[in-house]
């Protein structure tokens, strides 16, 4: 565990007690993003998605999370004193986590984090600990793919129809009645204009995670909240045949940074509007109070 910049960041406001509540924020979002792509089903038992993991510098990902959480506290509880920490299990421990998938993987990661925090003597100086961890979600949410977790990119190149109900086929069978247009679950953003549209073919950036609030001294769980945030992009004027190549790596990198910081901020402040992708400056390390 490291405290970014080697020190805590303290924020105070006029008229507030000189002994503000101290919250340690620890980011354990991991060292990878997942790229998931929908594929056409051909009557086989294969999953309708391909998945690829890309390893990144965990300090970069964790710092984006910490900047977002810290900004959320600035807006909602500026009187708190925040200690910003990042953590990634050692290789051997991470291999133990990676042996499992889904909920079991989450449980192992959280268990290792609790053990790590239990050995931290500085806990006696904190009031609460807010831990940020990846969170699996097995089913589709608002047009997104299934079995998504953490930070990633989801590519949906196949058009989907919206089904409005059942109709009789005339021979006693009931068939789904298709309207042929995407519904509100497929709301997209044109990255060039910022205008909202509706397309079931899109490239999305997502962050599925949970914040676990612990009592700093006993490490008992006081609160657990799950967030599933995503922004779906579609350029209606793009000439790209492959929807996955509609946006370049530079744009997607900026979009990922944006959704990570904004989602982390919303974990503290509540829902706010996620803007289109924009260029973000590298987050600065905290300064000594």
**What six digits make up the tokens of 154?**
């989801």
pLDDT of residue 164: 42
Give the Cα separation of 38 and 49 in Å (integer): 4
For residue range 147-174, list pLDDT tens digits in order. 999 999 999 998 765 444 444 444 444 4
> Average model confidence (pLDDT) for the chain?
80
* More confidently predicted of 102 and 114: 114
pTM score over 0.85: no
Which pLDDT score, from 0 to 100, does residue 7 have? 41
Of the ranges 28-32, 99-103, 136-140, 192-196, which one carries the lowest mean pLDDT score?
A: 99-103
Above pLDDT 70, what percent of the chain? 75
Q: What are 204's strand-pairing partners?
A: 154, 232
- If DSSP states are collapsed to H, E and C, what string results for the chain? CEEHHHCCEECCCCCCCCCCCEEEEEECCCCEEEEEEECCCCCCCCCCEEEEEEECCHHHHHHHHHHHHHHHHHHHCCCCEEEEEECCCCHHHHHHHHCCCHHHHHHHHHHHHHHHHHCCHHHHHCCEEEEEEECCECCCCCCCCCCECEEEEEEECCCCCCEEEEEECCCCCEEEEECCCCCHHHEEECCCCCCEEECCCEEEEEEEEEEEEEECCCCCEEEEEEEEEEEEECCCCCCCCCHHHCCCHHHHHHHHHHHHHHHHHHHHHCCCCCCCCCCCCCCCCCCCC
Report the pLDDT averaged over residues 194-211.
93
pLDDT at 93: 77
Confidence of residue 141 (pLDDT cuts 50, 70, 90): confident
* pLDDT for 231 beyond 70: yes
Decide the pairing of beta strands 9-10 and 81-86. antiparallel
The answer to whether 82 touches 23, Cβ cutoff 8 Å, is: yes
- What's the confidence (pLDDT) of residue 215? 97
Task: Please report how many Cα atoms fall inside a 13 Å half-sphere around the Cα of residue 9, on the Cβ side.
Answer: 19
Closest CA to 31 of 66, 57, 4: 57
Q: What is the mean pLDDT of residues 243-268?
A: 92
């Amino acid at each position: 565990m490291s405290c970014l910049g080697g020190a805590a960041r303290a924020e105070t406001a006029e008229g507030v007690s000189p002994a503000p509540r101290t919250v340690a924020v620890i980011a354990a979002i991991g060292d990878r993003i997942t790229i998931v792509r929908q594929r056409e089903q051909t009557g086989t038992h294969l999953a309708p998605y391909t998945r690829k993991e890309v390893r990144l510098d965990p300090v970069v990902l964790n710092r984006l999370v910490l900047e977002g959480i810290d900004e959320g506290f600035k807006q909602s509880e500026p009187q708190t004193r925040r200690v910003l920490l990042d953590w990634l299990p050692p290789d051997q421990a991470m291999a133990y986590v990676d042996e499992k998938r889904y909920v079991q993987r989450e449980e192992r990661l959280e268990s290792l984090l609790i053990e790590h925090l239990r050995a931290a003597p500085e806990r006696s100086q904190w009031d609460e600990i807010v831990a940020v961890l990846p969170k699996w979600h097995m089913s589709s949410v608002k047009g997104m793919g299934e079995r998504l977790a953490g930070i990633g990119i989801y590519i949906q190149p196949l058009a989907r129809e919206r089904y409005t109900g059942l109709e009789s086929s005339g021979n006693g069978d009931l068939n789904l009645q298709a309207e042929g247009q995407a519904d509100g679950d497929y709301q997209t953003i044109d990255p060039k204009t910022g205008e909202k549209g509706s397309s079931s073919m899109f490239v999305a950036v997502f962050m599925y995670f949970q914040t676990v609030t612990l009592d700093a001294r006993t490490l008992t769980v006081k609160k657990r909240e799950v967030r599933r945030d995503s922004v779906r992009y579609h350029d209606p004027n793009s000439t790209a045949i492959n929807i996955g190549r509609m946006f370049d790596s530079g744009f997607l990198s900026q979009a990922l940074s944006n959704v990570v910081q904004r989602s982390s901020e919303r974990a503290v402040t509540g829902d706010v509007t996620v803007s289109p992708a924009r260029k973000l400056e590298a987050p600065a390390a905290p300064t000594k109070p």
